A and B are shown apart, each in its own frame.
Chain A
C-alpha cells in the first residue's frame, strides 16, 4: 500500500472536505449521525 493508501486517503479527504488526518474522526461522526437519524426517522414515522 503506502502511496496507494495516501492517494485513497486524499480522495476520501476531498469527498469529505476535511484534512487527511481528520478522515477517521469524520467517518466515525458520520456513522454516529447516521444511526441517530435512523432512530429519529423511526420516531417520526
Chain B
C-alpha cells in the first residue's frame, strides 16, 4: 500500500509556507489558487490561471520566450555549463535498462540511477553531491499519445539535478529553486514573469515530501521534488539525508527555445528532415502550428482520439476527416521517430524485443513503428532510422553509434518475426470474425500476448468483412503497464526465529570443520540443523547445495533463510559436531559455476553485447545458462562459444574473488556485474575472470580457470522468445558425458556390425531397407487380397448386387480394399473380418440408398448389440466388436441378410 497523496496534500496545505515557500518567493512572488483547477501556484504577475493546460494554451508555439534557439545537443551544453559553474558534477547517463534496482525493467526517472536496495530498504547513493545528469528514460504508458499529442514520447531525457542535503556540497529547497529559476532566466533568457511555480507533493512507498513544478507559457519544464520524510503519513520522521530530486525535460527545454509546432520537430533535429524526405510526406507547418496549439489538450488515453480530434477540427473550421487525412501521416512519422530512438537506446544498452518482461514493451513499439510504416507505405527501415538518431546524438551519447550493426541485426530479426506473425494473424482473425464471436478486451489481450495480434489488425480484417470494430484507446497503455515492473515471486516463508546468522566457511578451502548446533527446525516433516558456522554451501544463485555429513548423519539438503544455513539431516543433532562436505560433489558444482561465467563471457563475444544472463542452474551431472538472444545459435556459433570458453580454461587465468563496496564495484566494472539481477546489499562479492567476465556472485568458484578442466556444450534450445538455454558440462561431468556418447555409439556400431564412423550410413541404409520392406509387405497383401476378392461372388437381388460375408484374417484395411474393388451405385456390402478383434464394414451404393438401408445405422446398431461400437454415414459404416463375440457373428450376418431381403421384396 502506497501513501495516500491526498492526505499528504491536506497535511501540507495546513502550513504551506513550511512546505513550499522558498527564498525566491520573497522577491515579489505571490501565492494564488487557480480558479479553474484548484491548484496553488506562485507567480510574479497578476495572472489568474495557473496556465497548465487546460488552464491555458501553449503560448510559446511560433513565438519562443527564450533569447536564442537551441538544438538538442546545445540544450545539454547550456545545462552542463550552467550547473557546472554552480558546483554540480555532470555525470554520464546510466543505461535505460535498469539492472541495479530490483523491481524495474527500465530507468524511468533520473533518481532511479542512484536508488539501491539494502536490507529491504531503498537507499540513495550519489556518486557526487550535487550532480546533474542527462538521464535517458523509457516509459511506455503513453503509447497511443506518442506522435499524436505533439509532446509525448516513450524515450526522453530527464535532466536530473540531485543533491543530498546535510552532506558536503549538498543543498535544500531554497538553492534548488533559485538555481532552476536562474537557469531559465539567465541561461535561456526567459523573462522571469513568465515562470509559474505550482505546489504539489510526491509520495513513494515509504517516503514523501513537497514538490514545486515549474511552467513557462503553459509548458511544464520541470518538477523539483524535496524528499524529506521517511515513513507513512501516520508515522513519519524527517530524513537525516534529505534528497533533492529535480527532474526536468531536456526535450521540453529544446522545444520551448524553438517554438516548433511539436516537440518532435525540435528534438529529433535532422532525423525528422530525413524521415520527411525518405517517406515523401508533405508537411504543412502552418496547419500543424495551428493544430498543435489546440492539440495540447489531446490525450488519447483519457478520451477517444477521434472525438478529441473532431473537437480540434471544429475549432479550426475543418472537417474531422479532412484534418485527419492531413496530419495522420506526419503523426505516424513522429511516432516512428520516437520509437526508433527508444529502440536505439534500448538495444545499445543490451535490451532485446521479446515476449517477456521489459522486452515485451520494446516489441510493442517496434511493431507499432513497423505497422505504421506499412500502413502509410513509407518504405522506411527502422534500423536505419535508429542509426540516424545515433549520428545526430553522437556529441552527447557517442555510445549509440557503436551499436548500429546491432540495430540492423536485432531489428532485422524483429521485422521477420513481425511479418510471420502478421501472416499467421490474418488467418486467425479472419476465422474469428467469421465465427461472429464477440472480441472483448480479454480476448484482445489474449490475442495480443499469445500471438502478437494487434487490435489494429483485427479492425483491418473486420472492416474488410464489412464489420465495425473499435480499437480501445487505452489498449496499449494497459498492456505495457503490465510489463514495466518486475513482480516479486512469492517466496516460501520459513521462520528461523531468533537463530543468528550462520558464519559462512564455504568460500574457504577446508571442507572439514567443527561447529556447535544452535538449534533444530522441523520443516516439511524433516529435521534441519542450524549451526554457529558451516562449510556447507546452501542452494542459491542457481547452484545446487552441498551434501556430506554432520558427525555420522548424512546431510541431504542445505538451504539458507535470512542468513541462517539449514542442514537437512535424518536425526536431530545437538552439542558439538564435526562437519564434512562431499568434496567430489563440491568440486563438480564449483567447476560448473565457473564454467557458467566462462560460457557467459564467450556467448557475449560470439553473439553480441545484448547477451545477458537470464537464468542459470548448476547441478552435479549437468548445468545450463539461459542467455538473452533472439534465435537459437547455429552449430558454428555454439562451437565458437565452446572453443572460446576452453581457450580461457587452457590459459589458466586466476579467478579473483573480493568483497567490495557496491559503488566502488559499479564504478570499476559497470552494471554488467548484475548478471544474476540486482543485489540488495551495500557490499558485493565480485567474481572476476580478468578480461573475460566479472559478476556479483555468491557461488563457489575455482581459483583458476584451469581447474574447470574442460567445457562441453551439449545442446542449445530456445526456451522462450528472446531466451536461449545453453546446456553444458564441465570437468568430470563433461568426461562422463563424452564417455556416454562413446558407449552409445559403440553399442549402435556393434548392433550394426560396422565401425563407429559407419554408423550414420548404416542407419540410413537400415531405415531405407525397413521402409522398402514395409512397402513390399503392403504390396503383397494388396496383391493377395485382390486374388481372394476376385473369387468372391456377389448375389443378384432385383437390379442390385449384394455381398454379405465373413473374411478370416482380415482387418479393417482389408475390408476397405474389398469395398474399393467391388462397390458400385447398385451394391450393398456387409463384411465381417476376424483378426485380433471383429471388424465390421458396410457400404451402400447411391442407387441402393433409395431402398432405405443405411450402412452407418446398421453397423452402429449391430456393433452396439454385441458390446462393440461403430457407425458412419448412410453410405458407409465401420465398427468393431470384441473377439469374444465371435460366436454370434453368423447370427448377425443372417439378421442383415434377412433385413436386406425383406427390404427388396
Q: Which residues of A contact B (CB under 8 A)?
A: 1-6, 8-9, 11-12, 15-16, 20-21, 23-24, 27-28, 30-31, 33-34, 37-38, 40-41, 44-45
B754-787 contact mask (Cβ, 8 Å, vs A): 1 or 0: 0011011001101101100110110011001000
Is A37 touching B777 in the complex (CB atoms < 8 A)?
yes
Interface hits, B101-117 → A, CB 8 Å? none
Q: How far is the CA of A16 from the CA of B747 in the complex (A)?
A: 16
Q: Is the CB of A12 within 8 A of B751?
A: no
Task: Flag if B741 contacts A28 (CB, 8 Å).
Answer: no
> Which residues of A sit under 8 angstroms from B773, Cβ to Cβ?
34, 37-38, 41
The 0/1 profile, CB within 8 Å of A marked 1, for residues 702-719 of chain B is 000000000010100000
The 10 lowest CB-CB distance pairs between A and B, nearest first, are: A44-B780, A37-B773, A24-B747, A2-B738, A6-B741, A5-B741, A5-B745, A5-B742, A11-B760, A9-B745
CA distance A23 to B746 in the complex (A): 11
Decide: A15 and B764 in contact? CB cutoff 8 A.
yes
* Contact of B849 with A by CB under 8 A: no
Nearest CB on B from A37, distance (A): 4
Say which residue of A3, A27, A40 sits within 8 Å of B748 (CB atoms). Answer: A27
- List A contacts of B742 (CB < 8 A): 1-2, 5
Q: How long is the Cα–Cα vector from A30 to B769 in the complex, in angstroms?
A: 10
Q: Which residue of A lies closest to B737 (CB)?
A: A6
Q: Using known A-B contacts A24-B744, A38-B773, determine if residue A8 contacts B784 with beta carbons closer than 8 Å.
A: no
Q: Is B752 an interface residue (CB 8 A)?
A: yes
A9 cross-chain contacts in B, Cβ below 8 A: 741, 744-745, 748, 759
A-B contact pairs, 24 of them (CB 8 A): A2-B741, A2-B742, A5-B746, A5-B756, A6-B714, A6-B741, A8-B756, A9-B748, A9-B759, A12-B745, A20-B744, A21-B744, A24-B747, A27-B751, A28-B751, A30-B767, A34-B766, A40-B777, A41-B776, A41-B777, A41-B780, A44-B777, A44-B781, A44-B784
- Interchain CB contact under 8 A, B766 and A3: no
Cα distance A23–B741 in the bound complex, in angstroms: 10
A5 to B737, CA, bound (A): 11
User: Is the CB–CB distance between B760 and A8 below 8 Å?
Assistant: yes
Q: Is the CB of B780 within 8 A of A20?
A: no
CA distance A33 to B741 in the complex (A): 25
The interface residues of chain A lying within 8 Å CB-to-CB of B737 are 6
CA distance A16 to B760 in the complex (A): 10
Secondary structure of the B contact surface, majority rule: helix
A41 CB → nearest B CB, Å: 6
Taking the closest CB of chain A, its distance from the CB of B814, in whole angstroms, is 13
State which residues 676-717 of B face A: CB under 8 Å.
Answer: 712, 714
Distance from A4 Cβ to chain B, minimum over Cβ atoms (Å): 8
A31 pairs with B766, CB closer than 8 A: yes
Q: In the complex where A20-B741, A24-B744 touch, is A45 in contact with B780 (Cβ < 8 A)?
A: yes
Bound CA–CA A41/B738 (angstroms): 41
Chain A positions within 8 Å of B746 at CB level? 5
Which A residues are in CB contact (< 8 Å) with B764? Answer: 15
Report how far A23 CA is from B751 CA in the complex, Å. Answer: 11
Cβ of B664 to closest chain A Cβ, rounded Å = 43
- Contact of A27 with B766 in the complex, beta carbons under 8 Å: yes
- Which B residue sits closest to A28, measured CB to CB? B751
Chain A min CB distance to B205 (Å):
49
Q: CB-nearest residue of chain A relative to B752? A: A27
A8, A16, A21, A34 pick with most chain B CB within 10 angstroms: A8
> Which of A11, A15, A16, A27 has the most chain B CB atoms closer than 10 A to its own CB?
A27
CA distance A1 to B757 in the complex (A): 10
**Smallest CB–CB gap between B154 and chain A, Å?**
44
Closest CB in chain A relative to B492 CB, distance in Å: 34
Contact across chains for A12 and B748 when beta carbons are under 8 A apart: yes
Contact partner, A12, options B740, B760, B777, Cβ 8 Å: B760
Expressed in whole angstroms, the minimum distance between the Cβ of A24 and any Cβ of chain B is 4
Determine the distance from Cα of A29 to Cα of B756 in the docked complex, in whole angstroms: 19
Q: Count the B residues whose beta carbon is within 8 Å of the partner chain — how many? A: 32
| Neighbouring B residues of A1 by C-beta, 8 Å | 742, 745, 756
- A17 CB to closest chain B CB (Å) equals 10
| Residue from A20, A24, A37 within 8 A of B751 (CB atoms) | A24
Residues of B within 8 A of A6 (CB): 714, 737-738, 741
Whole-angstrom CA separation of A24 from B769 in the bound complex: 18
B767:A15 contact, CB within 8 angstroms: yes
CA distance A28 to B374 in the complex (A): 55
Residue of B nearest to A2 (CB): B738
Chain A contacts for B767, CB-based, 8 A: 15-16, 30
Minimal beta-carbon separation of B734 from chain A (angstroms): 9
Asked if A37 contacts B760 (CB within 8 A), the reply is no
Minimum Cβ distance to chain B for residue A15 (Å) = 5
A37–B777 CA distance with the chains assembled, in angstroms: 7
What's the nearest-Cβ distance from chain A to residue B580, in Å? 34
What's the nearest-Cβ distance from chain B to residue A8, in Å? 6
Closest to B778 in A: A44
CB nearest to B739 among chain A residues: A2
Report the Cα distance A30→B182, complex, angstroms.
86
Please measure, in the bound complex, the distance between the C-alpha atom of A41 and the C-alpha atom of B777, giving whole angstroms: 6
B contact residues around A4 at 8 Å (CB): 756
Q: Determine the distance from Cα of A11 to Cα of B745 in the docked complex, in whole angstroms.
A: 11
The distance from the CB of B728 to the nearest CB of chain A, in whole angstroms, is 13
- B741 / chain A contacts, CB cutoff of 8 Å: 2, 5-6, 9, 20
**Neighbouring B residues of A24 by C-beta, 8 Å:** 744, 747-748, 751
Q: How far is the CA of A12 from the CA of B766 in the complex (A)?
A: 11
CB contact list, B545-582 vs A, under 8 A: none
| B780 and A8 form a contact (CB under 8 A) | no
Complex CA gap A9/B767 in Å reads 16
Contacts A1-B745, A5-B744, A12-B759 supplied; 13 other A-B pairs, CB < 8 Å:
A1-B756, A2-B738, A5-B756, A16-B763, A20-B744, A23-B748, A30-B770, A33-B770, A34-B769, A37-B770, A38-B773, A40-B777, A41-B777
Bound form: Cα–Cα A20–B759 in Å: 13
Cα–Cα, bound, A2→B712 (Å):
11
* Contact A37 B774, beta carbon cutoff 8 Å: yes
CB–CB A31/B780 < 8 A: no
**How far apart sit A45 and B712, CA to CA, in the bound complex (Å)?**
52
Q: Out of A8, A28, A34, A37, which one reaches B745, CB within 8 Å?
A: A8
Instruction: Give the distance in Å from the alpha carbon of A3 to the alpha carbon of B737 in the complex.
Output: 10
Contact with A along B455-485 (1 / 0, CB 8 A): 0000000000000000000000000000000
Chain B residues near A37 (CB-CB < 8 A): 770, 773-774, 776-777
Q: Which residues of B contact A12 (CB under 8 A)?
A: 745, 748, 759-760, 763
Q: A21-B744, A30-B770 are in contact. Are A15 and B763 (CB under 8 A)?
A: yes
Query: Complex: how many Å from CA A28 to CA B774?
Result: 17
B68 to chain A, nearest CB (A): 67
Residue ID in chain A nearest B779 by CB atoms: A44
Q: For A44, what are the chain B residues with a Cβ–Cβ distance below 8 Å? A: 777, 780-781, 784
A38 to B780, CA, bound (A): 12
Among B712, B738, B763, contact of A27 (Cβ-Cβ < 8 Å): B763
Contact of B757 with A8 in the complex, beta carbons under 8 Å: yes
- Give the Cβ gap from B489 to chain A, nearest Cβ, in Å: 31
Looking at the assembled complex, report how far the CB atom of A18 sits from the nearest CB atom of chain B, in whole angstroms.
11
Which of chain A's residues have a CB closer than 8 A to the CB of B712?
A: 3
Asked whether, in the complex, the Cβ of B777 is within 8 Å of the Cβ of A23, the reply is no
Q: How far is the CA of A6 from the CA of B781 in the complex (A)?
A: 41
Q: How far is the CA of A28 from the CA of B770 in the complex (A)?
A: 12
Q: How far is the CA of A11 from the CA of B759 in the complex (A)?
A: 9
User: Which residues, 594 to 626 on B, are CB-close (under 8 Å) to A?
Assistant: none
In the complex with contacts A6-B741, A41-B773, A15-B748 CB distance below 8 A: no
Which residue from B744, B757, B774, B780 sits with its C-beta under 8 Å from A23? B744
Q: Judge whether B777 and A31 touch: CB under 8 Å.
A: no
- Chain A residue with Cβ nearest B742: A5
Partner of A8, one of B759, B766, B769, B770: B759
